[in-house]
Amino acid sequence: MPLVANSTLPTFERLRAEGETVLNRENALKQDIRELHIGLLNMMPDAALSATERQFFRLVGESNSIAQFYMHPFTLDELPRSEQGRAHVQEFYESFDAIKEQGLDALIITGANVTGPELSKEPFWEPLIEVIDWAYENVTSTLCSCLATHAVMEFRYQQKRRPLGFKRWGVYSHYVTNRLHPLVNGVNTRFDVPHSRYNQVDHSQFEEAGLTVLARSEEADVHLAVSEDLFRIVFFQGHPEYDIISLLKEYKREVLRFFNNEREDYPPFPENYFSLQSQEILNEYCNLLIRARQQGEELPEFPEQLISTSLHNTWHDTAEAIINNWIGKVYQLTNIDRKKPFEDGVDIDDPLNMRK
């Protein structure tokens, strides 16, 4: 149930200040309670590095399993970092070699920002494959988010993502397509998930690969799916970990890019996210910004505080429930010696006993 502050990573103190339960390592060692060690391969750029830590740490810490959660963040050297980003990683992150030596009960792999159309040509491609292949053989379950899902679908299942031709951006309604799977136990049959991506793996591709789709959207297509063994790999195509202001922050960054002539068009609103009143305020701001840019004036102050008070989070409870189900199954299936992903007697091809 509680996270354990097993390092001086500032994210722990930030979560504690937000009211999350975070144990000091000294107090955790005095409790007679089982540990779960969860890796976070954080591939996000520097601007989102700490926020991504908090988002996934929070979801894990809010699950109801009776366990202490030790989080092990690491990244890939091939990802571009600023001096500040490299300093953060060097001080607070672990190496993949150390991760392999210690073992993990579960692994979360975040998305990443890429500029090219071919994932296989990205500098992190081979190192990412190495991590996922290791996890497949040594970790009970790996949860892949967004780009990580696209990467696994390409190199393991030969299903390449396709460009949408636009940015799928906003909060979309989804429905559960397989109510018997333990990952969606107790989850609302309809729920929202944020998406933010230019590419997509279609429902037909998941089916062609022999995977099980658990939740999809009429607009945004597949969000949640699982590997053919029903648990070894969990796929997220959306971003249920997002904070309530994540899309607002992203919209603000795109507005700034327009002001700095880094994009030609003024960014559209994320769909199903801003209220009508907020859209009117932002349209007025758009006019102010365009006038300021034309006249060579400074960027007007973005009305972030005014907009943020009218936002609604319609996805976090469902995300928490799915992560809780995921953690619960990891807890049940993982050998206490983390060198082996499943307890003796568990059918690796059907660990959830769903095919009987």
Looking at per-residue pLDDT, the higher value among 268 and 29 belongs to 268
Q: Kindly state the helix (H) or strand (E) to which residue 212 belongs, with its residue range.
A: strand 212-217
Structure confidence at residue 349 (pLDDT): 56
Structure confidence at residue 237 (pLDDT): 97
Where residue 353 falls among pLDDT bands split at 50, 70, 90? low
Give the mean pLDDT of 336-341: 52
Q: Does the structure show a pLDDT above 90 at 129?
A: yes
Catalytic residue among 53, 62, 154, 241: 241
Give the mean pLDDT of 308-318: 96
The rounded distance, in Å, linking the Cα atoms of 46 and 76 is 13
Structure confidence at residue 310 (pLDDT): 95
Q: How many C-beta neighbours within 10 Å does residue 342 have? A: 15
Domains of the chain, earliest start first: 3-243+313-333 (3.40.50.880), 246-308 (no CATH)
Q: Which amino acid is at 10?
A: P
Q: Does the structure show a pLDDT above 90 at 257?
A: yes
**Average of per-residue pLDDT values in the chain:** 91
* Residue pointed to by tokens 């007025």: 284
Looking at per-residue pLDDT, the higher value among 8 and 18 belongs to 8
Residues with Cβ within 8 Å of 57's Cβ and at least 6 positions away in sequence, in order, are 3, 11, 12, 15, 40, 71
For the stretch 105-117, pLDDT in tens is 999 999 998 878 8
DSSP 41-84: E----HHHHHHHHHHHHHHHHTS--SSEEEEEEE--TTS---HH
The rounded distance, in Å, linking the Cα atoms of 214 and 10 is 35
Catalytic residue among 62, 144, 146, 181: 146
For the stretch 170-216, pLDDT in tens is 999 999 999 989 999 999 999 999 999 999 999 999 999 999 999 99
The rounded distance, in Å, linking the Cα atoms of 200 and 168 is 9
Q: Does the structure show a pLDDT above 90 at 309?
A: yes
Q: Respond yes or no: is residue 286 known to be catalytic.
A: no
Give the mean pLDDT of 228-246: 95
User: For the whole model, what pTM was predicted?
Assistant: 0.88
Structure confidence at residue 356 (pLDDT): 45
Q: Which DSSP symbol is given to 169?
A: E
Q: Does the structure show a pLDDT above 80 at 169?
A: yes
Q: Does the structure show a pLDDT above 60 at 285?
A: yes
Structure confidence at residue 347 (pLDDT): 55
32's tokens: 């007679």
Structure confidence at residue 345 (pLDDT): 46
Q: Does the structure show a pLDDT above 70 at 30?
A: no
Catalytic residue among 72, 174, 181, 239: 239
Instruction: Tell me the three-class secondary structure of 261-279, residue by residue.
Output: CCCCCCCCCCECCCCHHHH
Looking at per-residue pLDDT, the higher value among 115 and 304 belongs to 304
Q: Which of 1-15, 20-34, 210-224, 333-347 has the lowest mean pLDDT?
A: 333-347
Residue 94: alpha-carbon gap to chain centroid: 19
DSSP 126-145: HHHHHHHHHHHHH-SEEEEE
Give the mean pLDDT of 218-241: 96
Hey, what's the torsion of the CAs at 91, 96, 97, 98, to 10 degrees? Answer: 50
Q: How many C-beta neighbours within 10 Å does residue 92 have? A: 17
Q: Does the structure show a pLDDT above 60 at 136?
A: yes
Structure confidence at residue 312 (pLDDT): 97
Rg value, the chain, Cα: 21
Where residue 236 falls among pLDDT bands split at 50, 70, 90? very high
Give the mean pLDDT of 3-10: 86
Q: How large a percentage of the chain has pLDDT more than 70?
A: 91
Q: Which amino acid is at 47?
A: A
Q: Which DSSP symbol is given to 93?
A: P
Q: Respond yes or no: is residue 144 known to be catalytic.
A: no
Structure confidence at residue 230 (pLDDT): 87
CB 154 within 8 A of CB 199: no
The rounded distance, in Å, linking the Cα atoms of 26 and 212 is 42
